[in-house]
Amino acid sequence: MVKEKPHLNLVIIGHIDQGKSTMMGALLIQTGAVTEREARELEKIAKEFDRDSWSAAYVFDKLKEERQRGITIDLAFRKFDTNSKTFTVIDAPGHQDFVKNMITGASQADAAVLVISGKKGEMEVGIAANGQTREHAYLAQTLGVKQLVVAVNKMDIWEYKKERYDEVVVASSALLKQIGFNVKKIHFVPVSGLKSENLAEKCDKISWYDGPTLLEALDEFTLPEKPTGKPLRIPIQDAYKIKGTGVVPVGRVETGVLKKGDRIIIQPGGFTGEIRSMEMHHEEINQAEPGDNIGMSIRGLTIEQVSRGDCLGHPATPPTVINTKGSWTGQVIVIWHPTALAQGYTPVVHAHTTQVASKFVELIKKLDQKTGAVIEDNPKFIKKNEVAIVKLQPIRKICLEKYEDIPEMGRFAVRDMGRTVAVGIVKDIDIGVQDT
């Protein structure tokens, strides 16, 4: 049997209209992840909607509504191979309303491709103070995506000029450095998604560039250490009722190991049962490890007993549940707000696959962003670019873990008015009295 290549989850991020879907669609076609037949079918559909040049993007834009609007909505999963690795692509939407998908997408990712259009004006909009390139990069960093490649897209429009490439590299490097990425380790790859250039094969129009193609740059990513020794945590993305099989929850193993026959608990509901079978990419498996996206058949489970945002673990080390009388202490950085955040503010908190409205019950202290030193105790409010320790109380039960124990379950984003207001990590937890 051929040994399976090691596997990485890849998230595609960047502002709308930077050409993300077209570029990744073209890469999937070039790597053979999409068959010729599928590619022809996509071209046919594209022509129906007068979207000829977008046919590669259709690989990702599966929903009919998206096809007509030309916007990627749901998270699309696709696999492709490089020389030494297999990637599952999570195509994160770039539209403002869809950043919450980005939050759940990026928290499942091991690495990211940040797509920046080299077209005059488009890059500048993306990296502006309210641009999504900036917001997505912040989120990726907070959500633990440590490895990044920047694809400088649309080089056919900027006529393959080194000067424009250099401008984009300088501007995006400054942004990424400010956010906390090690820019020295990042490849900036000039590409054209539309013309399928410098994706899988070298492009002779950019003789001034001696770096890797996009595929080669992805192949250089290192495999993350799998946290198999930690307690099992599988945030549930969805649950399906399948005829003949029963209820099948789907999720990505964040930590620990799940085996066929294991007893499990689903929190916050408390259902306990046994794993009857598991599958990944439509093949049955006996064991699942961190990074695996799996479907599980669980004896006795009904559709009412599981939903998106729940977390599955072993009964001996169950997922931590914060009740409505409990709270967690978080360290947050405010990345956008029209005024300021004060005590009593109740936005929606997104963590792993869950979203729960939560109240800022206390602003404990404001910290210096660079040194971590306390600047002010009990501040009245916190504003954009400020870092603070705060206490949050969920309006319904939420599964979270301390960041130092299980970082994969200890990150969160604060959303309001269709925007990401703050991102943070869980420092401490008070589970509170059990809700009645």
Q: 292 near 280, Cβ under 8 Å?
A: yes
Q: What is the pLDDT of residue 208?
A: 96
Q: What is the pLDDT of residue 291?
A: 85
Which of the four CATH numbers 3.40.190.10, 3.40.50.300, 3.40.50.1980, 1.10.10.10 does domain 7-219 have? 3.40.50.300
Fold of 234-313: Elongation Factor Tu (Ef-tu); domain 3 (2.40.30)
- What is the rounded distance in angstroms from the CA atom of residue 31 to the CA atom of residue 89? 13
Q: Could you read off the pLDDT of 224-239 as tens digits, one per residue?
A: 788 999 999 999 999 9
- Which residues make beta-bridge pairs with 148? 112
| Cα 273 to chain centroid, rounded | 29
- Does the pLDDT at position 172 exceed 80? yes
CA distances from 293 to 145, 360, 393 (A): 17, 33, 30
CA dihedral 350, 421, 176, 217 (to 10 degrees): 30
Closest C-alpha to 331, from 305, 368, 291, 298: 368
- Strands (DSSP E) contained in 82-132 are 86-91, 111-117
Q: Could you read off the pLDDT of 57-113 as tens digits, one per residue?
A: 554 554 444 444 444 434 444 788 899 999 987 655 544 444 555 555 555 678 999
Q: Where in the chain is the domain with CATH 2.40.30.10?
A: 234-313, 321-430
CA distances from 429 to 48, 118, 330 (A): 54, 44, 9
Fold of 321-430: Elongation Factor Tu (Ef-tu); domain 3 (2.40.30)
Neighbours of 404 (CB within 10 A): 11
Query: Helix, strand or coil for residue 18?
Result: coil
* DSSP annotation of 255: B
- Does the pLDDT at position 344 exceed 50? yes
Burial-class residue 52 by CB neighbours within 10 Å (0-12, 13-18, 19+): exposed
- Which residues make beta-bridge pairs with 251? 236, 294
- What is the rounded distance in angstroms from the CA atom of residue 397 to the CA atom of residue 289? 27
Q: Which two tokens stand for residue 229?
A: 């020794």
Q: Which residues, 6 or more positions from 294, have their beta carbon under 8 angstroms from its beta carbon?
A: 234, 250, 251, 252, 253, 258, 278, 279, 280, 285, 288
Burial-class residue 187 by CB neighbours within 10 Å (0-12, 13-18, 19+): middle
- Which residues make beta-bridge pairs with 112? 11, 148
Q: 309 near 234, Cβ under 8 Å?
A: no
Q: Could you read off the pLDDT of 393-420 as tens digits, one per residue?
A: 999 999 999 998 998 899 898 999 888 8
Q: 104 near 75, Cβ under 8 Å?
A: yes
Q: Could you read off the pLDDT of 254-273 as tens digits, one per residue?
A: 999 999 999 999 999 999 99
Q: Where in the chain is the domain with CATH 3.40.50.300?
A: 7-219
What does the mean pLDDT of the chain come to? 85
Q: Per residue in 146-181, is it b (16+ CB within 10 Å) or e — as a string?
A: bbbbbbbbbbbbbebeeebbebbbebbbebbeeeeb
Full-prediction pTM beyond 0.75?
no
Q: 89 near 28, Cβ under 8 Å?
A: yes
